[in-house]
Amino acid sequence: MFPLVAQQALVRRRGKVLVGPVDLTLAGEGTTIVIGPNGAGKTTLLKMLHGIVRMNGGTLDWACPKAEAQRRQAFVFQAPVMMRRSVVDNIAYPLQLIGTPRKEARARAAEWATRINLGDALDRQATLLSGGERQKLALARALIREPDVLFLDEPCASLDGRATREIEEILQCAAAEGTRLIMSTHNMGQAQRLADEVIFVLQGRVHEFSKAHNFFAGPETNQGRAFLRGDIVE
Amino acid sequence: MADLLDGMLRAFWLVVTLDSDLVEITLRSLRVTLTALAIAAAIALPLAAMLSVRRFRMRRVTIAVLNALMGLPPVVVGLIVYVFLSRSGPLGVMGLLFTPTAMIIAQVIIIVPLVASIAHQSLRELWSDYHDLLISMNATQVQRVKALLWDGRRALLTAALAGFGRAIGEVGAIMVVGGNIDHATRVLTTAIALETGKGDFAMALGLGFVLIAMAIAVNLAIHWLGHTESEGRW
């Protein structure tokens, strides 16, 4: 599936360039963390790479046919969308989409629910869950198809420390099982804990792309250094 | 005032004694209306879902026309159906004029735009929630439509009930195509019109109260079966 190669990839809305042009090559291992100030284009960049935002220019190529690449990836949104179903039916839904029999899909979903500590809430309506529980459910729903790539858009935004730790544990398990994580975050501590490589995005462009230890030891650009210091970067 | 009181007493008496004519007319009203509603729902609900998830050239025009058709004059619908089903009309050979089937056809034409428009309003909002999620999961158009119809089922119930209300109270079209024939096509509304014409206001009011009571009963039954308004459901 990898490498993922973006060449001059561009997203424009109403004449304004939101992201790009982006030239980027992502290899198949490790966890990539996307950082940058608000409005820099992190979310749009992730959605573009995942394919739910249409590009207005450039190319984006996986090392396999596009349809196959789409089947082998998943996305977790910053504000997790809860389908109007029970917890178990939410988690089982992606399996049902690929034709898994309902009974089998629900059994596997129940296993996942137990794994994320929602085993006693299988039949609860998903919209009644707390923020942390919703995000865990969204993760389980994304991981149940065992994707090769998981995109995450600030999955721990507005969660407390305990919920963040639970999410990170699930992510580390997924990474250990071979899922490639590409995730945006505002939390520098989290970025340092999880990242193997860092993409620093500014004004819709990939400003810096380097190994995590290199970036956190000393960014190459003034903007990168200022961002790490906590200065306001625009 | 005396007529009103007399009407209530007559209604009470007709119900208590299970008047055979009343039972026959009421059952026919229910049969015609519920059949029309089932057919209309089978057409309107998928149509509303398709209009929510698909983008095509004439989509806005289609929605505008559908909304405009909500105000379709029933008598005109009746007249058009009459022309089609009359002996000299294109469907005259089927011999459907002045039958309950003709009444059902007229009611379907009247309530499809209403049910579709109300359903579309609900499903459009649901689709704005689900859009990124279902695209991310690689759901096909048919799977998207199914997800919307299933998860929006309680909102769709409201659309169906609006259609039921319109159909059960309809008189103009079914009078034209049904002919208000005793023991054949007479329903509650046409019977009320007949009794009013004869000057028997008490009987007309009695039938009217039965009609209102039946509409409320069906609404309550559907709400009860659909478990609406219970905690954590939609």
Kind plus residue range of the DSSP H or E element containing B66 = helix B59-69
Q: Give bridge partners of residue A152 from the DSSP assignment.
A: A76, A183
* Statement: residue B234 has pLDDT above 70: no
Neighbours of B21 (CB within 10 A): 13
Residue A185 to residue A153: CA distance in whole angstroms: 7
> What are the tens digits of pLDDT across the range A187-202?
888 999 999 999 999 8
- B232 → chain A, closest CA residue: A125
> What are the tens digits of pLDDT across the range B197-216?
998 887 888 888 889 988 89
pLDDT in the model for residue B230: 56
A50 touches chain B (CB under 8 A): yes
Q: Is residue B21 part of a domain?
A: yes
Q: Is residue B54 part of a domain?
A: yes
Tokens found for residue A143: 């991981």
> What are the tens digits of pLDDT across the range B102-118?
999 999 999 999 999 99
User: Helix, strand, or coil here: A150?
Assistant: strand
Q: Is the peptide bond before A219 cis (omega within 30 degrees of 0)?
A: no
* Statement: residue B160 has pLDDT above 50: yes
* A–B CB contacts, 8 A cutoff, strictly below: 38
The domains located in chain A, with CATH, are 4-81+147-229 (3.40.50.300), 83-128 (no CATH)
Contact A71 B137 (CB under 8 A): no
Contact A81 B152 (CB under 8 A): no
Average of pLDDT values for B1-20?
80
Q: Is residue B106 part of a domain?
A: yes
> What are the tens digits of pLDDT across the range B77-108?
999 999 999 999 899 999 899 999 999 999 99
Structurally, how many domains does chain B consist of?
1
A125 touches chain B (CB under 8 A): yes
Residues ≥6 apart with Cβ < 8 Å to B24: B183
**What DSSP designation does A214 have?**
H
Q: Is residue B86 part of a domain?
A: yes
Contact A97 B143 (CB under 8 A): yes
Is A67 or B11 the better-scoring residue by pLDDT? A67
| CATH code of the domain covering residue B209 | 1.10.3720.10
B151 touches chain A (CB under 8 A): yes
Band (B228; pLDDT cuts 50, 70, 90): low
Average of pLDDT values for A101-110?
95
Judged by phi (left if over 0) then psi (alpha if -120 to 50, else beta), residue A100 lies in beta
A124 touches chain B (CB under 8 A): yes
Closest approach of chain A CAs to the CA of B35, in angstroms? 29
Q: Is residue B234 part of a domain?
A: no
Q: Is residue B77 part of a domain?
A: yes
Quote the percentage of chain B above a pLDDT of 70: 96
Work out the widest C-alpha separation in chain B, in whole angstroms.
66
Burial annotation B213-230 (CB, 10 A radius, 16+ → b, else e): ebbeebeeeebeebeeee
Nearest C-alpha neighbor of A203 from the set A15, A20, A12 = A20
Contact A124 B151 (CB under 8 A): no
Give 3-state DSSP helix, strand, coil % of chain A, rounded to 5.
Answer: 40, 25, 35
Tokens found for residue B188: 């509650």
B6 touches chain A (CB under 8 A): no
Q: Is residue B212 part of a domain?
A: yes
The mean predicted confidence, pLDDT, of chain A is: 89
Chain B residue numbers with beta carbons less than 8 Å from the beta carbon of A71 are: 138
pLDDT in the model for residue B159: 92
Band (A69; pLDDT cuts 50, 70, 90): confident
Q: Is residue B204 part of a domain?
A: yes
Mutate to test the interface with A, among B123, B135, B138, B157 (most CBs of A within 10 A): B138
Range of the domain at B75: 2-224
* Statement: residue A183 has pLDDT above 90: yes
Can you spell out the DSSP letters for B35-89? HHHHHHHHHHHHHHHHHHH---TTHHHHHHHHHHHTT--HHHHHHHHHHHHSTTS
Chain B residue numbers with beta carbons less than 8 Å from the beta carbon of A148 are: none
Residue A24 to residue A62: CA distance in whole angstroms: 12
Band (B57; pLDDT cuts 50, 70, 90): confident
Nearest C-alpha neighbor of B77 from the set B173, B169, B164 = B173
pLDDT in the model for residue A1: 75
Residue A190 to residue A195: CA distance in whole angstroms: 8
Closest approach of chain B CAs to the CA of A81, in angstroms? 7
- A66 → chain B, closest CA residue: B138
Is A15 or A144 the better-scoring residue by pLDDT? A144
pLDDT in the model for residue B229: 53
